[in-house]
Amino acid sequence: NISSLFCSGSRSSKTFKPKKNIPEGSHQYELLKHAEATLGSGNLRMAVMLPDGEDLNEWVAVNTVDFFNQINMLYGTITDFCTEESCPVMSAGPKYEYHWADGTNIKKPIKCSAPKYIDYLMTWVQDQLDDETLFPSKIGVPFPKNFMSVAKTILKRLFRVYAHIYHQHFDPVIQLQEEAHLNTSFKHFIFFVQEFNLIDRRELAPLQELIEKLTSKDR
């Protein structure tokens, strides 16, 4: 049971961020419902495409919020396995290590444990999503000129959480029977960032083989 996992362990509740809700009745909510309906068809390549007549910024915004919620939940299931002791550095296999900097509070990248890094990362993403000047939720409020570059940075960082889970915590994912859920979520994420060219190929290197495996069936 996923919900009981969230409540167990003192750390889980700290790292698990509240779900970011898109206001009901808003156009973005309609877009989210559209995304969920097309996902249900099982064709992920079709599901990520920009719906006719829709604004690209808005579509990217809705999906970014959705991916934040998905990754938040997936990481929430394995927080008990991701500790200062088990993961003293934030890594995605032996060749990739991430150091945290957000450019404002922490300007010079710092080496920190995976749980600390992911806590910084998810808090930072949440702050961006809650910023009405960056992610306007009201109809008619324009997106800022730098919206796409902000979204790209968010997605690039969210990818690192997937990469860490796959490389360091895949065993508990299998034990918890979350494997299909993780794969579907990641595949959806990859199709989305590929469709709109949102993450540099070099950034995806830690999971390149998996990406090729997951996407080759749908060419």
Q: Give binding residues for Zn(2+) as ranges.
A: 82, 87, 164, 169
CA terminus-to-terminus distance, the chain: 35
Query: In DSSP terms, which residues pair with 90 in a beta bridge?
Result: 98
DSSP H or E stretch at residue 91 = strand 90-91
Q: Which two tokens stand for residue 53?
A: 């007549």
Q: Any alpha helices (H) in 2-146, and if so which ranges? A: 2-7, 10-15, 27-40, 44-47, 56-78, 114-130
133: which residues sit within 8 A by CB, 6+ positions away?
A: 144
Q: Which two tokens stand for residue 217?
A: 């069936």
Q: List the Cα angle 205/106/113 in 5-degree steps.
A: 55
Which residues carry a binding-site annotation? Answer: 82, 87, 164, 169
Asked if 62 contacts 22 with a C-beta cutoff of 8 angstroms, the reply is: yes
DSSP label of 92 = S
- Euclidean distance between CA atoms 207 and 159, whole angstroms: 9
- Euclidean distance between CA atoms 10 and 127, whole angstroms: 23
